Structure 1
Amino acid sequence: MLIKYLFLILLWILWCFFHSIMISKSLTDYLKNRFEKLFIFYRLFFNLTAIITIIPVLIYTYSIKTSPIFTWDGYLRIIQILMLLTAVYLCFAGAKQYNLSQVMGLAQIREKSSTSLISQDNKINIAGIHRIIRHPWYSAVFLLIWAQNMDISGLIVNIILTIYLVTGTVLEEKKLVQSIGRDYQEYQKKADMFFPVKWIAGKILRNCC
């Protein structure tokens, strides 16, 4: 069974690495310069490739599932439900602020433009949920994966995905700082990355004082 878990770790690390390479600035800049007219299809290609390549990884993950080592039973079920409801809310709240057509890669093809996902004018969006947290969809992913009953394979996957999301977000924000500059740094001071600690603390202080 150890070999199976090691292979599982390898598969997920390879998928994360491949996913990261595809969105790396060095590769995307090269492809944009090399295939300028065709680059409008890249976002859609990236999404489809990410989905297709993760399918066999998921199939293998579920093929080695064993008895749970942790379950959300009893009073813990309330916490689980709250986590899932919060994740659903974050998904919808984030969707209101993103151009979903652009996220999927369809807008780029329709408009024949490879514009940034930030916005058309390269400005940050601090409306709605973004006033509280900077990455609502990533927060939703954290809640969704950790709100599940877990066996050993599930725990391994959750740890890998958590490390990957945190690392990827830090690198992504470095690119945003390079692209937007001081405005994004100021935004980082006002809103938390994943969970609204600053917002909650502010509410508590205002109510107490």
Structure 2
Amino acid sequence: MTLSEQLIYAVLWLLFGAAHSVLASETAKRLTRALFGRLERLAYNLIAVFHFVATVAAGRYLLGGAEAEPFVLPPLIQGGMGAALVAGAGLILLALRHYDLRRFAGTALVPEGAVPEPLHTDGLHRYVRHPLYSGAFLLLIGGATDPFGLATCLWASLYLVIGTWFEERRLISLYGDAYRRYRAAVPAFIPWRGRAR
């Protein structure tokens, strides 16, 4: 693994993040809505999944993939990373219970101009604003067992932090002062304040 391979992988994540943010913009949504109609959200998700898989596959190829030697870690750290994987997967599954999954995935045919989902402030959202991202961070940390996993943890975490900034701008435009108040009361990823009212 060379520095240039790391930089290429970083650029691939940067491109993924940029494309994901651009496709989430209102201008791009109007275009995909014109092309795909009510399947716009499904098309957005399929493009994102394809781009994500291509980015990770390219990183695995660049950074050695299956041939890469795993890090030699003390058993306590290995156990902690395994616990992070399990906790991350559990957190994501718990968080998904609070969404309309058909709408989230894009398989529900939502009519044009339909009311957006209400602002979620219950369940895990009482502790963190982005429980799906919190779970993703834990999965990334738990998977950092070799050079590819560590690079993926670094670049994908950076993408999540930057992507959160864009997501929050979208949520403010969607929910206004309600989201501003929620953001002031509830932390983004780590539930350091305890449960919000």
Q: TM-score band, normalised by the shorter chain?
A: 0.7 to 0.9
> What count of residue pairs does the alignment treat as equivalent?
191
Contact 2:144-2:152 within 8 A present in 1 as well: no
Is residue 107 of structure 2 the alignment partner of residue 112 of structure 1? no
1:62-87 residue CA offsets vs partner (Å, 9 max, x unmatched): 2232323x455311233223322321
Q: How does 1:1-209 map to 2 (within 5 A)?
A: 1-29=2-30, 31-32=32-33, 35=34, 38-63=36-61, 64-65=63-64, 66-68=68-70, 70=71, 72-107=73-108, 109=109, 111-113=110-112, 115=114, 118-119=116-117, 123-199=118-194
Partner Cα distance (1:42, 1:106) in 2: 10
- The whole-number CA distance in structure 2 between the counterparts of 1:16 and 1:67 is 28
**Percent of aligned positions that are identical:** 25
- Call closer, same or farther: CA 1:10–1:43 in 2, change over 3 Å: same
Q: Give the Cα separation in 1 of the matches to 2:155 and 2:18.
A: 11
Looking at structure 2, the residues matched to 192 and 59 of structure 1 have their Cα atoms a distance apart, in angstroms, of: 33
For residue 164 of structure 1, give the secondary structure of its aligned residue in structure 2. helix
Aligned partners of 1:195, 1:125: CA distance in 2, in Å?
17
Deviations 1:111-161 (A, max 9, x none): 434646x51xxx312121111111111111100011124333333322221
Partners of 1:194 and 1:15 in 2: how far apart? 21
Q: Distance in 2 between matches of 1:38 and 1:59?
A: 28
Cα shift at 1:7: 2.4
**Greater gyration radius:** 1
Unaligned residue ranges in structure 1 (runs of 5+):
203-209
Q: Which amino acid in structure 2 is aligned with residue 183 of structure 1? A: A
Deviation string 1:45-100 (CA, Å, 9 cap, x unpaired) is 111111222333222222232323x4553112332233223212211221110011
CA distance in 2 between counterparts of 1:169 and 1:187 reads 15
Shifted more, 173-182 versus 140-149: the winner is: 173-182
User: Which stretches in structure 2 are left out of the alignment for 5+ residues?
Assistant: none
Q: Equivalents in 2 of 1:182, 1:189: separation in Å?
A: 10
TM-score, scaled relative to structure 2: 0.84
RMSD of aligned residue pairs (Cα, Å): 2.4
